[in-house]
Amino acid sequence: MAGAPRPGGRSAKVRAAVLGAALAELVDAGYHGLTLDGVARRAGVHKTTVYRRWGTRETLLLDAIRERAQTHVPIPDHGSLRADLFDLARAAIANLRTPEVGALVRAAVALAPHDPAVARAGTAFWSERLGVDGTVVERAVARGEITGTDPREVIEAVLGPPYFRVLVTGEAVSDAFLRRVVDRVVDGLPKPGRR
């Protein structure tokens, strides 16, 4: 994994070029067709740069998806749990629906049972990412909107149903659906005589 190079520096530019090339190469060549040599060629950098800095396909793709999530799925802070969860889910699903992230996630789902390196990279990514996403829940607890609850599991409750649609059932994920998912997570099911 690369360190945290100065943004805008030469090192940061190389990193951005390589991570972008990794996702593009994944879409074009498929998971098993992706090689560090191919990524280096596409990024216009020397292959030893890629080997030295990332070493394996899994490390490279883990770094690429991490970077991608950071830039495409920012952590909202609207002062409202509902608004924050909605924005987060919307951005996460838009990201999942891009060819690059779609290809990576679907390949990981198919390969994880047979390839421990893929399984480890996926679990590492989500372990970090659910912690970051959980910030919106922690802030809601701090504001007194809700009382203590597991922030990661709230994020899983919000992302689970639209991920299930995109990956498994193939049903459409509209903004209206995402609003209903968020409302259901916050409010639960409607009970008789409670308004």
For its own copies, which stretch binds (CB under 8 A), given 13-21, 48-56, 58-66, 125-133?
Answer: 125-133
Count of residues binding its own copies (CB under 8 A)?
51
Structure-token pair, residue 67:
């970077």
149-168 residues in contact with its own copies (CB under 8 A) are 149-150, 153-154, 156-157, 159-165, 167-168
Cβ proximity of 29 and 106 under 8 Å: no
Nearer CB in complex with its own copies: 14/178: 178
Among positions 57-86, residues that touch its own copies (CB under 8 A) are: 81
Smaller CB distance to its own copies: residue 76 or 162? 162
Pick between residue 50 and residue 182 the one whose CB is nearest to its own copies.
182
Cα–Cα dist 93/103, whole Å? 14
Nearer of residues 67 and 156 to its own copies, judged by Cβ: 156
- Please state, in angstroms and as integers, the Cα–Cα distance from residue 150 to each residue in 8, 87, 138, 159, 163, following that order: 37, 19, 9, 15, 20
Q: Which is nearer to its own copies, 47 or 152 (CB)?
A: 152
Structure token digits, residue 103: 């290809």
Cα separation, 137 vs 162, in Å, equals: 19
Beta-carbon count within 10 A of 193 CB: 4
- Residue 138 interacting with its own copies (CB under 8 A): no
User: Which residue blocks in 44-150 are alpha helix, DSSP H?
Assistant: 47-53, 57-72, 81-96, 99-111, 116-133, 135-143
Binding of its own copies at residue 32 (CB under 8 A)? no
Q: Which residues contact its own copies by CB under 8 A? A: 81, 102, 105-110, 112-113, 119, 122-123, 126-127, 130, 144-150, 153-154, 156-157, 159-165, 167-171, 177, 180-181, 184-192
